[in-house]
Amino acid sequence: MTVYSLVHLRLVWCCWTLPRWQMNGHKRPLAVWTSATAQWTLKQKKPAELYRIPVSRPPILSGTSLLGKGALSTTSISPKEVMLTSERYGVQRLPFSHVSDSDLTFFEHLIPGRVITDPDELRPFNVDWLQSVRGCSKMLLRPRTAAEVSEILRYCNKRKLAVNPQGGNTGLVGGSVPVFDEIIISTALMNQVISFNSVSGILVCQAGCILENLNQYLEELDFIMPLDLGAKGSCHIGGNVATNAGGLRLLRYGSLRGTVLGLEVVLADGSILNCLASLRKDNTGYDLKQLFIGSEGTLGIITAVSILCPRKPKSVNLVFLGSPFYILIETSGSNSAHDEEKLNNFLEHVMASGLVTDGTVATEDKKIKMLWSLRERITEALTHDGCVYKYDLSLPVERLYDLVIDTRARLGKTAKNVVGYGHLGDGNLHLNITAESYSHSLLNAIEPFVYEWTAQYNGSISAEHGLGFKKKHYIQYSKPQEAVLLMQQVKAMLDPKGILNPYKTLPASS
Amino acid sequence: MTVYSLVHLRLVWCCWTLPRWQMNGHKRPLAVWTSATAQWTLKQKKPAELYRIPVSRPPILSGTSLLGKGALSTTSISPKEVMLTSERYGVQRLPFSHVSDSDLTFFEHLIPGRVITDPDELRPFNVDWLQSVRGCSKMLLRPRTAAEVSEILRYCNKRKLAVNPQGGNTGLVGGSVPVFDEIIISTALMNQVISFNSVSGILVCQAGCILENLNQYLEELDFIMPLDLGAKGSCHIGGNVATNAGGLRLLRYGSLRGTVLGLEVVLADGSILNCLASLRKDNTGYDLKQLFIGSEGTLGIITAVSILCPRKPKSVNLVFLGSPFYILIETSGSNSAHDEEKLNNFLEHVMASGLVTDGTVATEDKKIKMLWSLRERITEALTHDGCVYKYDLSLPVERLYDLVIDTRARLGKTAKNVVGYGHLGDGNLHLNITAESYSHSLLNAIEPFVYEWTAQYNGSISAEHGLGFKKKHYIQYSKPQEAVLLMQQVKAMLDPKGILNPYKTLPASS
């Protein structure tokens, strides 16, 4: 463990144009501040539970037209009030078949008792976590095995029925819910651990395992998952892989492109692609699994995952530091005395140099969790600030915060807050702009400004959230035309009828 | 740094059924043994130099027919004596065009002075490092830029001229030399560093940079390359990426699938795919660069690479331990006192438990290099033992050595030595079988036995060497038919005329 090398650190940079107390000029010592803010955090809720929160805010989006504008998220709206995606964005339904009675009969025979058609039960699966997009699917299927998914897709492909693969439905770009009446294929019942090898640390499990459950399972065996994110209590590992989730451990353990060793995927025509290898090295042909990592369910449905898991660290330290920014630095190692010595050297260095003016160190689990929750729940906290315009950008580290400053200057008083936080070590900025209510002119002031700014510095307009439904039209800011064309060819090759998660990730071929 | 966690270690397991002194029963203390064997190592030679070594051994392969048998390597043969691949393997030339005078005129106009047609100059580029395969290319092109590669491929694709992309020509599976008269496109003059960012550690360079040169360049800036291998003095980074090279740092810094952040690739039709991003996170569409990593030049020619480089470790320790096996363990960290304390704890533990009976620790650079050279030069050393049958396998760690024992039992006295070494932490076994001379019956005793054994334990028949020419027919031992079919579709999509490195990696579509 070293605190100097970014490669060894899980390091998250948090700067939020700060809540009440700072905006009111209450400059308190950091330790006091952190304990004061602990009350402000809410319990993490699964999506289904969120819909039961009573809300008083009126719908703020009815009547607006946002064709081609994807960044808006609306919150504190009950699901009934979320405008249909098709209406809000003026999307045309593609000529897929409609679900018929004979289709229902087929699926009920195939997976009896696991076909949901009740509108009330379907509701939470049609709306995203941010309550910003809504589909009108009339059927949700809950297969338990890859063989069942295979039968489902073979049938859907033949019938030209569109499908929407869905994990924990925690995505932020509208990729995880239907746009129209796509059949939702939930991975929720594919939730079994298949094997774990405590010599190699390789876990093989079904796609519907919840990330937090896997982590708990592993912790008992002295291992941890190589990824961690705020949605861990709900998100499925299959969805994590399908969206190439980043999160809080990326800096320490690398991306899923390195840690995912194998996948089982069902293709659009129902064929099962078994690349569920549990090997660190395998150079036999092209690495097909990489096509599916980050493809957001548009190329196949991931049904099982083989993933390399690190040992549970014996010693963990968390530092929360403040100067112009707040920063969380977590170290993990095998010897607490060594780690503390290194950390103290680092802290002495940054305090002496004036880089850091204040801070607190946590070693006990409870305090570590509390400090992390401050960071992990910013997304949720922002929803209480009104209407949120969300951006997830990769930028050269040295440019990371300039965009916040430039955006703030550009928007002036038309925005309530311009908030920048994210992952310093990864060069990942979460730019959030809040306003009392939605305004078309504000959106026009933000877009394409933010995308152009990002493209100017060769950044990515989606660092870790993906493109989903909301950002597919902005891909050209980060990828050249040749790349987009090639992606469209890949899509056409793997899913010629386009039944898999349509209207997502890529703009339509011209 | 922790010596207990495999994830943190660069750990190589070496067991060779030992050279002379041990076979003669000279059981010496390890320290003596290592210094004694230091004389035995040879200076690393670049492929071109190797051909100048005078050899006395007569050709051992003339007249044999090995259709579909790919593991044989012959050594100590001068290039003139290496049998043509087409003859030895009975391969049929595909109906590509032949290079004409007007082609020569075109290329000499495009890259004046960088078109090689002299047979003597061409010779080393037609033969692989192991001197086991030989093509008969009549033209080698040395472009300096992606634009030049683009012009070359556009022309070749139109003319249906087959090409063989070549880096340092250090591959072990016959992937880097022509099979017939393919035009060799060398990356040797594309050897410029484009940029290095000392905040992020991201290096962008042309494909023809030699790995060791890059590492030296980075060391001066307090960084290192995330990969290291025995061929570092000759191999090109573009070739490393094209073959998804593993090597000695994989356990510590992960595979190229995680560390390569971007690629510039010229496709078969000459279009330039610029995915040369320098971002840790980028979720804008499918990760196309992964298709080219490990595709062995069959999908495009990599012209530039963006790669994440770790900080140069402040403290490095190397331990060489012996019990039933010899093992090298390298630790790297930021604090030598901490690292030594951890290492001593580990050594006390393994000595007390009886796992290890003898060993030596090295901290100074010279001794570290000397110990590593023992490992790195086994490949070369084996060539002095006669005819070598080479296999590069991934296996579950707990099964790694069983194959050596089983093979030894199976072959009995028909083999001179059955040697197993490799990378314990990666589960990568290099199985080498030596004999005085080539024998068809010995090969039949080895194959398909070794592949079937590997497949039985869900291993990979090529861990890090790739499939190249020699192993393409064995892909089905590690990949299901659906995967091979999909790979063939990918190949057909990206290179419809099949001009890129033909006869390699994939079996022909049926």
Question: How large is the ipTM?
Answer: 0.87
Inform me whether the pLDDT recorded for B44 exceeds 70.
no
Mutate to test the interface with A, among B1, B224, B283, B500 (most CBs of A within 10 A): B283
Residues of A in contact with B199 (CB under 8 A): 396-398
- Could you tell me if B315 and B336 are in contact, meaning their C-beta atoms sit under 8 angstroms apart? yes
- Which pLDDT value is given to residue B509? 83
Residues A441/A413, Cβ–Cβ less than 8 Å:
no
8 Å CB contact between A395 and B281? no
Res B376: pLDDT: 86
Q: Give the amino acid at B31.
A: A
Residue-level pLDDT at B45: 33
Per-residue pLDDT, A344: 95
The pLDDT score that the predictor gives to residue B507 is: 95
Architecture in CATH for domain B386-478 = 2-Layer Sandwich (3.30)
Q: Do A460 and B250 touch (CB under 8 A)?
A: no
Distance from CA of A68 to the nearest CA of B (A): 17
Q: Taking the domains of chain B in order of start, what are their residue ranges?
A: 6-40+313-378, 386-478
pLDDT at site B78: 53
Place of tokens 């090279």: B245
Residue of A nearest to B290 (CA): A290
| Tens digits of residue pLDDT in B56-115 | 222 222 222 222 333 444 444 454 589 999 999 999 999 999 999 999 999 999 999 999
B337 to each of A339, B4, B341, how far by Cα in Å?
12, 17, 6
**Do B6-40+313-378 and B386-478 agree at the fold level?**
yes
Q: Three-state DSSP class for A189?
A: coil
B178 is written with which tokens?
A: 């022509």
Check B285 against A338: CB less than 8 A apart.
no
DSSP A213-276: HHHHHHHTTTB--S---GGGGT-BHHHHHHTT---TTHHHH--HHHHEEEEEEE-TTS-EEEE-
**Architecture of domain B6-40+313-378 in this structure:** 2-Layer Sandwich (3.30)
- pLDDT at site B410: 98
Among the partner residues B246, B281, B483, nearest to A281 by beta-carbon distance: B246
Q: How far apart are alpha carbons A260 and B377 in whole angstroms?
A: 32
Q: Determine whether the interchain pair A199/B398 forms a contact, defined as Cβ–Cβ distance below 8 Å.
A: yes
Tokens for B127, please give them: 């033969």
Contact B275 A342 (CB under 8 A): no
Mean pLDDT by 10 residues, chain A (510 residues): 32 33 28 25 30 27 30 45 93 98 98 98 96 96 98 98 98 97 98 96 98 98 96 97 94 95 98 95 97 98 98 96 94 95 95 92 94 90 92 94 97 96 94 93 96 97 97 96 97 98 92
* Contact call for B286 and A490, based on CB within 8 A: yes
B375-382 average pLDDT score: 90
The predicted pLDDT at position A35 comes to 26
Q: Which of chain B's residues have a Cβ under 8 Å away from the Cβ of A458?
A: 277-279
Other C-beta atoms lying within 10 Å of the C-beta of residue B105: 11
CB atoms within 10 A of CB A51: 16
Q: What is the mean pLDDT of residues B362-389?
A: 92
Chain B residue numbers with beta carbons less than 8 Å from the beta carbon of A201 are 6-7
Determine whether the interchain pair A458/B293 forms a contact, defined as Cβ–Cβ distance below 8 Å.
no
pLDDT mean across residues, chain B: 86
> Percent of chain B scored above 90 by pLDDT?
79
Angle at A125 between CA A120 and CA A130, to 5 degrees: 115
Alpha helices in A293-364 (DSSP H): 336-352
Answer whether B281 sits within 8 Å of A255, measured CB to CB.
yes
d(C-alpha B388, C-alpha B436), whole Å: 9
